[in-house]
Amino acid sequence: MRTDSKGKLKIAALIVALCIVCSAAGGAAGAATAYRIWGSKMLELQKDEPDEGEILTMPPTLADETTAEETTAILTEPPTEAPTQPVAEATTSPPISLSAKEIFNKTVSSVVAIKTVVEYKTSGLLGTVTREGTGSGSGFIFNKNGHIITNYHVVEGAKSIKVTLYDNKELDAKLVGFDEENDIAVIKVNSADLQPVNVGSSSELSVGDRLYIIGNPLGELSQTLSQGVVSGLNRKIDTGSYIINMFQTDAAINAGNSGGPVFDENGAVVGVVAAKYASESIESLGFFIPIDDIKTKLNDIIRYGYVKNKPYLGLSVQTVTNLLSLQYKIPMGAYIVDLDVNGPAAKAGIQNKDVITAVNGKTIKNVAELKTELQGLKTGDQVSLTVSRSGGGTTVTVTLGELVPTKKPRTSYSDVYDV
């Protein structure tokens, strides 16, 4: 599973590690004070010293409308004296706030446990060997048609997917589609009498609002409830591949909670559990994807299998790190390993071995920054790419195509990404 070696958090000047909470196959590669979990692979992070003054960044439904009845009084004559009774002020009913027990009983039947079988390769004296492992996560029933929402990293590369319902009934599931950029995926089961969640609005959340999480921590403690509050809004979390907007919470999140629902005080889903930070000195630092950021994307995935109108360059790119830059005498940026010869970038004149150093005039130093600059664009937009080629530089204007994700990447390199 692809990861980035850097882990930086855009909070003060503290370097920690992103812990993507899906328990999957693999082994621990050493112990470290700060670490990242992606699947169950624990990878020791390279801690780069920040430049002086650098701000550190981390290196993967409808609201009920209440209407008031309007009353119009028609006066035939002006009053001759003040009313003897005070006029009552209009009042509004306070929002419903359920207890933890009520929320659990109301929503637990909509939460599922997910088990996957994945293939991975190991190298040794006998060469490269393909093995099988298992992964686990959580999800929630989105509609009565059997569509279930989870994280993309929970089902990424899965050979098979099984879902366990509240009544312990196990069902086979198939992948409908995904959006890696936002770490979301939709899977589907065939079953009657499914109980979908009530989808709320994350835009209504404020710091201090109470939250409830139900999921499958450790891959075996299904139907576990934890609670906390909204600790922060609009945190930019760098998964190593993309920078994702998330909300922060102090609710307990553990391996296996990935993809599970985050409920508000009314029992409506306001987010999808995505990540936590892990360190000997850090506690209660978890993150979830706001539901309002992904509602439209989820509907696109259910209908088309992918998110419509996302920009496509037709390139396979690799980050030129500072070390690679010094070693090969090329600038830092996004190195083009391969390309779609019929893609928009190739048609505009981009070539293999070019290094993209700026997007619309803004300097980029890695693949994540390239993807971030593309996030605000859509199919049909034009983008200016500054590239370094054989020691020289040029600027190329590309008309973006539409990204249609495929299960098979253009290249087999673990640190190369298609855009």
Q: How far apart are CA 95 and CA 418, in angstroms?
A: 46
Q: Checking DSSP bridges between strand 315-320 and strand 333-339, what pairing results, if any?
A: antiparallel
What per-residue confidence (pLDDT) applies to 282?
67
- Band of the pLDDT at 391, cuts 50, 70, 90? confident
pLDDT at 21 over 50: no
- 23, 226, 258, 316: the catalytic one is 258
Which residues, in sequence order, are CB contacts of 56 under 8 Å at separation 6+?
8, 9, 10, 11, 13, 14, 15, 50
What pLDDT, in 10s, does the model give residues 284-313? 789 999 999 999 999 999 999 999 999 999
Q: Which residue has the higher pLDDT, 144 or 55?
A: 144
pLDDT tops 70 at residue 235: yes
pLDDT tens digits, one per residue of 326-382 = 999 999 999 999 999 999 999 999 999 999 999 999 999 999 899 889 988 999 999
pLDDT at site 377: 93
SS3 of 298, please? Answer: helix
Among residues 227, 233, 235, the alpha carbon closest in space to that of 210 is found at 227
183 is catalytic: yes
The mean pLDDT of 83-105, rounded to a whole number, is: 62
| pLDDT (0 to 100) of residue 226 | 95
Q: Is 221's pLDDT higher than 80?
A: yes
Mean pLDDT over all residues of the chain?
Answer: 79
Catalytic residue among 40, 110, 179, 183: 183
Q: How confident is the model at residue 131 (pLDDT cuts 50, 70, 90)?
A: confident
Instruction: Give whichever of 49-53, 132-136, 185-189 has the largest mean pLDDT.
Output: 185-189
**Pick the catalytic residue: 23, 136, 153, 241?**
153
User: What is each CA distance from 336 to 46, 75, 79, 406, in whole angstroms?
Assistant: 24, 77, 82, 19
Go through the domains of the chain in sequence order and give each one's CATH number: 1-59+99-306 (2.40.10.120), 311-418 (2.30.42.10)
Rounded mean pLDDT, 187-196: 95
Q: Which pLDDT tens digit goes with each residue over 243-281?
A: 889 999 999 998 899 999 999 999 999 999 997 665 556
Residue 381 designated active-site: no
For the question of residue 388 being annotated catalytic, the response is: no
pLDDT of residue 77: 36
Which helix (DSSP H) or strand (DSSP E) does residue 303 occupy? helix 295-304
228, pLDDT greater than 60: yes
pLDDT for residue 26? 42
The pLDDT of residue 407 is 61
Q: The pTM is what?
A: 0.72
Q: What is the dihedral of CA 126, 132, 137, 138, to 10 degrees?
A: 160
Lowest mean pLDDT among 22-26, 48-52, 88-92: 88-92
